[in-house]
Amino acid sequence: MLTRIKEGELVHLIDKKGKRYQIVLKASISFSFTHGVISHDDIIGLEEGSTVKSSLGEKLVVVRPTLAEYISKMRKGSQIIYPKDIAAILMLADIFPGAKVLEAGTGSGALTMALLRAVGKGGTVVSYERRKEFSAIAKSNIETFFDKVEIAGKEGSGKLVSRDKDVYEGIEEKELDRIILDLSEPWRVLKHVEKSLRNGGILLCYNPTVLQIYKLSRRMDLRYKGVFHVMGIYEVGIRGWEIKERSMRPEHKMIAHTGFIFVARHVDKNIQS
């Protein structure tokens, strides 16, 4: 059971139009925006879902952000994987409690946080990122989420191993359960994946263009036939709906194509026909 909102927590304030403001609560300071000022002291001690009023009478709802909501507001060093795709990746890669998962690259840490939750306390996420500026941003995002958001599940999340390394040059770990690649040229990593992914393990690649997926598929078919069994290629779209009085209709804007998800399983080539 969650306690009342306390000092040091990261919360979202939502106005009547649905706009979100993200703040870390600290006693004796105030949050200022176009509709007035709200003292942090007026928020500390409230139940989640309570309403606070600004100095100009604007009402805002106070909530602890979900992971998807946190991702939308966090600092981004690179293009992130959208929550709709993260959800599909967790299912299609079958990320399970206790799994040992490698991802490359880390980017801004959006997928990393979801993986840490999914593998649970007994699992490990190894994250490769060659760009140190992205690693720094991701580290800050991950630490803020798990340390400042009460519902992040810090105590039940997996162990994170961060490596400032180019996965194209090789993978240190062996007998990995899952490998997830968010790279422009994933086919260059297949030779390393073959050695590091256990038999029966799953490789998932995320790419924005059909040409990347086609090249990956062809490389796998020509050079790694019998080593990887392709499970599927997917594209995920999501469309919101709105209800106003007696009218119900799709929202005017839709998050359609963001990327392709390519999934394959590593198999024992010695028993392939």
Residuewise pLDDT in 10s, the chain (273 residues): 678 999 999 999 999 999 999 999 999 999 999 999 999 999 999 999 999 999 999 999 999 999 999 999 999 988 889 999 999 999 999 999 999 999 999 999 999 999 999 999 999 999 999 999 999 999 999 999 999 999 999 999 999 999 999 999 999 999 999 999 999 999 999 999 999 999 999 999 999 999 999 999 999 999 999 999 999 999 999 999 999 889 999 998 888 899 999 999 999 876 544
| Every domain of the chain and the residues it spans | 10-64, 68-271
pLDDT at 271: 53
| Residue 61 near residue 18, CB atoms below 8 Å | no
* Structural contact between residues 134 and 105, judged by C-beta atoms closer than 8 angstroms: yes
Q: What are phi and psi of 56, to 5 degrees?
A: -105, 10
Output the pLDDT for position 273.
Answer: 46
First and final C-alpha spacing in the chain? 54
Residue 255: the pLDDT is 86
Q: Rounded CA gap, 28 and 232, in Å?
A: 54
Predicted model pTM: 0.93
Q: Are strands 247-250 and 10-14 parallel, antiparallel or unpaired?
A: unpaired
CA distance 165 to 232: 29
In angstroms, the Cα distances linking 202 to 30, 37, 106, 115, 190 are 48, 51, 18, 14, 12
The position carrying tokens 């040059």 is: 169
| Topology of domain 10-64, CATH | Vcp-like ATPase; Chain A, domain 2 (3.10.330)
Q: Could you tell me which of 38, 26, 180 has the C-alpha nearest to residue 112?
A: 180
User: For domain 68-271, is the CATH number 1.25.60.10?
Assistant: no
Q: 45 Cβ partners below 8 Å, 6+ apart? A: 4, 5, 6
Do residues 4 and 46 make contact, with C-beta atoms less than 8 angstroms apart? yes
- Name residue 184's amino acid: S
CA 130 to chain centre: 19
| DSSP sequence for 130-180 | S-HHHHHHHHHHHHHHHHH-TTS-GGGS-EEEEE---GGG-----SEEEEE
Pick from 133, 159, 135: which is nearest to 146 by CA?
159
Neighbouring residues of 167: CB distance < 8 A, sequence distance ≥ 6: 104, 105, 128, 130, 181, 183, 189, 192
